[in-house]
């Protein structure tokens, strides 16, 4: 083939299915050729000694989503810059419907934040906080048709929580429209009860965030969401699973033949509630406040059990960055009065691949193929981007990461590309690091340096997910 634009030469190509020594030929931003030797491109990159993998897809990030009265540390420019530096070429952040507002209008507003600013390709999930008749009857169906084919619902947070009736109505709409629902499973009332009791006892430091929402509240909500999904025969994705309790609920549902999927995240294999410790606001526990909170070492083992048994399809970052310092950061004046007001979320889009590679592949827990499935291919399949994204195959977008499996690095704020003023993984040592990232055939990250301009990332209208198809097995008679 004489008219290639670029060849990646000498690398080992890894997909979710295979590990192969071959070269990659790229033409017009897409993969045009996989062959033992590609010599006739005008430009080439030397990948000898490197792995060539599909660019990461992070299907759970929050960008420009200001919350808890705090300003998010990343908009699309810095958040996507951090993504590309971590070997990720596609992100799916959220467009949130504020209560009382139109969902369509919210989507228009998030596009204003994103369009022309992103270094990587992006889609949007919707967050439904106010499922009125017009949202369920008109807005959601039309938005699904426009490529927003998944939405998230919350079982906690004052300004997001849906009650059981509302959850059922959103699930019913998702089933009708063939959209995939992501569920944040933590029980609102139990958390509120615990929070009030802790505050009354003067236990207000960030550490008590983890005490206020133990695994049992996650397990209860996961079971409730699964029951609602079973009643209606609707597939659901339970996101950011933190430990054994919720993992076992998902496994139980899967063993019953239900289409219940699971996502876990970097923090649940690498941080613990001890990181939140310190009974003083200034002892840096606030840096680790996220929900569900990180648990303990035995929870890490439970998460690995879920990963290796296939309970989890996706491994995401839940990148939700807030500043630590300053009047709009995690320790803003209101947050200093109680953990209840500390903005929930941590930055992590850049370290997702290195930490999973180091803990998973290097330590022999998962294969290279499974690493690619968990970080890229399954995200594309679950969220309607496959086979354009998520694989190395002729015709797919040439989104690639060239990965040095032997390079050791220590994660430090000074080498991060995000907008936050800290990383929760300061001093964390990893083996395996992204060297170059390629987006639709263009070199966009080269060993520490982001090479493309903001705005070169494109919006992705997503297809319906085949994983959102109901089973057709109606056990309880309520599905239509
Ligand atoms: O603490 C977290 N995870 N904040 C982000 C919002 C969410 O629930 O995903
Ligand atoms: Zn959530
Ligand atoms: Zn999240």
Q: How many helices (H) and strands (E) in the chain?
A: 14, 21
CA distances 345 to 124, 186, 445, Å, are 19, 15, 26
91-106 CB burial, b ≥16 within 10 A, e <16: bbbbbbbeeeebbbeb
Query: Which protein residues touch ligand 1 with a CB less than 6 Å away?
Result: 62, 184, 240, 290-291, 318, 320, 344-345
Is 466 a domain residue?
A: no
How confident is the model at residue 66, as a pLDDT?
80
Pocket test for ligand 1, best of 318, 319, 346 (most atoms within 8 A of CB): 318
Is 474 a domain residue?
A: no
Residues 391 and 134: their CA atoms lie apart, in Å, by 38
By the 8 A CB rule, do 6 and 28 touch? no
Handedness of CA 333, 336, 340, 346 (dihedral sign): positive
Six-digit token string for 157: 């947070």
SS3 label, residue 315: strand
Is 101 a domain residue?
A: yes
User: In angstroms, what is the span from residue 351 Cα to ligand 1's centroid?
Assistant: 17
By the 8 A CB rule, do 52 and 45 touch? no
Six-digit token string for 126: 């919707």
Residues 90 and 102: their CA atoms lie apart, in Å, by 27
User: In angstroms, what is the span from residue 408 Cα to ligand 1's centroid?
Assistant: 30
Q: Which regions in the chain score pLDDT beneath 50? A: none
By the 8 A CB rule, do 370 and 309 touch? no
User: In angstroms, what is the span from residue 122 Cα to ligand 2's centroid?
Assistant: 19
SS3 label, residue 264: strand
Number of domains within the chain: 1
Is 448 a domain residue?
A: no
User: In angstroms, what is the span from residue 318 Cα to ligand 1's centroid?
Assistant: 7
Bridging pattern class, strands 51-54 and 400-411? antiparallel
Residues 85 and 433: their CA atoms lie apart, in Å, by 10
- Ligand 1 atom 7, closest CA: 291
User: In angstroms, what is the span from residue 414 Cα to ligand 3's centroid?
Assistant: 25
DSSP labels for 175-228? HHHTPEEEEE---HHHHHHHHHHHHHTT--STHHHHHHS-HHHHHHHHHHHHHH
Six-digit token string for 140: 């959601």
How confident is the model at residue 342, as a pLDDT?
95
- Ligand 1 atom 9, closest CA: 318
Residues 250 and 1: their CA atoms lie apart, in Å, by 48
What's the CATH code of the domain at 305? 3.20.20.140
Is 218 a domain residue?
A: yes
Is 64 a domain residue?
A: yes
Reference 418, options 97, 79, 176, 25; nearest CA is 79
Residues 454 and 397: their CA atoms lie apart, in Å, by 19
How confident is the model at residue 283, as a pLDDT?
78
What ligand is nearest to the CA atom of residue 239?
2
Q: Quickly count: other Cβ atoms within 10 Å of residue 178's Cβ.
A: 17
By the 8 A CB rule, do 349 and 424 touch? no
Burial-class residue 362 by CB neighbours within 10 Å (0-12, 13-18, 19+).
middle
Assess whether the previous peptide bond of 236 is cis (omega < 30° from 0).
no
With a CB cutoff of 8 Å and minimum separation 6, the contacts of 476 are: 230, 231
CA 404, distance to chain mean position in Å, is 23
Is 14 a domain residue?
A: no
How confident is the model at residue 1, as a pLDDT?
55
Residues 273 and 276: their CA atoms lie apart, in Å, by 5
Residues 370 and 311: their CA atoms lie apart, in Å, by 13
SS3 label, residue 70: strand
Reference 227, options 250, 255, 243; nearest CA is 250
Six-digit token string for 44: 């080439």
Residues 132 and 153: their CA atoms lie apart, in Å, by 14
The domain in which residue 347 lies consists of 56-370
CA distances 315 to 41, 306, 358, Å, are 35, 11, 14
Q: Which helix H or strand E contains 80, and what residues bound it?
A: helix 76-85
The ligand 1 atom nearest the CA atom of 157: 8
Residues 389 and 395: their CA atoms lie apart, in Å, by 10
Look over the chain and give the mean of its residue pLDDT values, rounded to a whole number: 96
What ligand is nearest to the CA atom of residue 318?
3
Pocket test for ligand 1, best of 191, 237, 320 (most atoms within 8 A of CB): 320
Is 263 a domain residue?
A: yes
Please name the residue that has the structure tokens 């079982």.
Answer: 155
Q: What angle do CA 82, 378, 391 make, to 5 degrees?
A: 80
Six-digit token string for 98: 């504020």
């Amino acid at each position: 083939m004489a008219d290639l634009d670029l060849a990646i030469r000498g690398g080992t190509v890894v997909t979710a299915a295979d590990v192969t020594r071959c070269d990659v030929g790229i033409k017009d931003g897409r993969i045009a050729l996989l062959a033992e030797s590609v010599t006739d491109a005008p430009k080439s990159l030397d990948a000898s000694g490197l792995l060539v993998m599909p660019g990461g897809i992070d299907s759970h990030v929050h960008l420009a989503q200001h919350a808890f009265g705090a300003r998010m540390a990343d908009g699309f420019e810095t958040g996507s810059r951090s993504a590309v530096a971590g070997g990720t070429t596609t992100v799916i952040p959220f467009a949130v419907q504020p209560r009382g507002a139109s969902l369509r209008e919210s989507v228009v507003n998030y596009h204003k934040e994103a369009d022309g600013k992103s270094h990587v390709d992006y889609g949007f999930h919707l967050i439904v906080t106010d499922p009125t008749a017009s949202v369920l009857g008109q807005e959601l169906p039309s938005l699904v048709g426009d490529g927003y084919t998944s939405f998230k619902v919350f079982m906690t947070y004052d300004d997001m929580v849906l009650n059981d009736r509302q959850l059922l109505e959103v699930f019913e709409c998702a089933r009708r429209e063939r959209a995939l629902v992501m569920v944040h499973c933590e029980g609102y009332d139990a958390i509120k009860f615990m929070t009030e009791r802790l505050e009354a006892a003067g236990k207000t430091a960030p550490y008590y965030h983890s005490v206020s929402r133990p695994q049992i509240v996650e397990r209860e909500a996961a079971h409730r969401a699964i029951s609602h999904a079973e009643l209606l025969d609707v597939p659901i994705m339970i996101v950011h699973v933190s430990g054994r309790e919720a993992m076992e609920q998902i496994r139980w549902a899967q063993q019953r033949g239900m289409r219940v999927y699971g996502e876990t995240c970097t923090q649940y294999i690498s941080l613990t509630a001890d990181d939140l410790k310190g009974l003083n606001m200034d002892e840096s526990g606030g840096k680790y406040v996220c929900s569900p909170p990180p648990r303990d070492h035995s929870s890490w083992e439970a998460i690995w059990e879920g990963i290796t048994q296939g309970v989890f399809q996706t491994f995401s970052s839940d990148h939700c960055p807030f500043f630590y310092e300053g009047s709009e950061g995690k320790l803003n004046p209101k947050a200093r009065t109680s953990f209840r007001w500390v903005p929930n979320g941590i930055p992590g889009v850049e370290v997702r691949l290195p930490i999973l590679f180091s803990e998973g592949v290097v330590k022999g827990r998962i294969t290279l193929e499974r690493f690619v499935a968990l970080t890229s291919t399954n995200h594309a399949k679950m969220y309607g981007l496959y086979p354009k994204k998520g694989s190395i195959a002729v015709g797919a977008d040439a989104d690639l990461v060239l990965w040095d499996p032997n390079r050791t690095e220590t994660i430090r704020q000074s080498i991060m590309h995000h907008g936050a003023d800290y990383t929760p993984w300061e001093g964390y040592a990893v083996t395996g690091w992204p060297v170059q990232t390629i987006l639709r055939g263009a070199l966009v990250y080269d060993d520490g340096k982001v090479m493309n301009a903001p705005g070169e990332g494109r919006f992705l209208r997503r297809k319906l997910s085949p994983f959102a198809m109901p089973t057709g097995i109606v056990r309880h008679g309520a599905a239509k």
